[in-house]
């Protein structure tokens, strides 16, 4: 079992966003473990990034955790319904993070249902909510990331425009969404 350590997250955000593809998100609920392979991510790189909650150097109660050292969870409610799971990256005081947009879940049944093919859906599946705000992925006993030796070649990584951030003007078309080519569990191609 190779849990990703803090050093993995405290690196340039675009690098982390790409390298998260193929890693496994592990969620432990009581004695049960839910596992999903990360197949889609998006980078948010403030304070320049207009699409980031930390745009312009804003420090609000909601987004203050993205200013912390890499490796923590940034989670918030969107549209009044959906929780969004982000992983804080980069060193302390740099407001950068990666949104986890889709997982390929293990197990036949889940596969058929595409139960985690979207940022809101995966949080619902893994039962993630406000109580995970600030959770330390390097230490937590209920959520962490593992490297299971899956290698994603550079040629298999597609870069695309981020989703749902039209309000961010020119920043909306930066190619900061990454997903695994031909993977059926990506939220949108």
Partner DNA sequence: TGTCCGATATCCT
Partner DNA sequence: GGATATCGGACAT
Sites of contact with DNA (CB under 7 A): 42, 44, 51-53, 58, 60-63, 76-82, 84, 86, 97, 99, 118-122, 130, 163-165, 167, 187
CB of 174 to DNA, least distance (A): 13
User: Residues with Cβ < 8 Å from 148, sequence gap 6 or more?
Assistant: 2, 23, 24
Name which of 2 and 57 has its Cβ closer to DNA.
Answer: 57
CB of 62 to DNA, least distance (A): 3
CB of 162 to DNA, least distance (A): 7
Name which of 3 and 82 has its Cβ closer to DNA.
Answer: 82
Name which of 21 and 122 has its Cβ closer to DNA.
Answer: 122
CB of 106 to DNA, least distance (A): 19
Q: Which long-range contacts (CB under 8 A, 24 or more apart) does 65-70 make?
A: 65/133, 65/134, 66/95, 66/96, 66/97, 67/92, 67/93, 67/94, 67/95, 68/92, 68/134, 69/6, 69/10, 70/6, 70/8, 70/9, 70/10, 70/11, 70/16
Q: Which two tokens stand for residue 158?
A: 């597609």
Name which of 35 and 75 has its Cβ closer to DNA.
Answer: 75
């Amino acid at each position: 079992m190779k849990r990703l350590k803090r050093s993995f997250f405290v690196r340039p955000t675009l690098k982390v966003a790409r390298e998260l593809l193929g890693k496994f998100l592990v969620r432990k609920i009581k004695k049960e473990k839910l596992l999903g392979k990360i197949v889609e991510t998006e980078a948010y790189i403030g304070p320049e990034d207009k699409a980031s909650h930390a745009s312009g150097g804003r420090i609000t109660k909601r987004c203050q955790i993205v200013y912390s050292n890499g490796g923590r969870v940034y989670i918030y409610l969107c549209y009044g319904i959906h929780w969004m799971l982000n992983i804080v990256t980069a060193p302390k005081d740099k407001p950068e993070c990666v949104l986890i947009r889709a997982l390929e879940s293990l197990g036949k049944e889940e596969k058929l249902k595409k139960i985690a093919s979207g940022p809101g859906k995966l949080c619902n599946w893994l039962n993630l909510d406000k109580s995970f705000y600030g959770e330390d992925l390097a230490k937590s006993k209920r959520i962490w990331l593992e490297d299971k030796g899956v290698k994603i070649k550079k040629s298999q990584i597609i870069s695309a425009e981020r989703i749902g951030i039209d309000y961010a003007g020119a920043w909306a078309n930066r190619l900061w969404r990454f997903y695994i080519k031909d993977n059926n569990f990506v939220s949108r191609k």
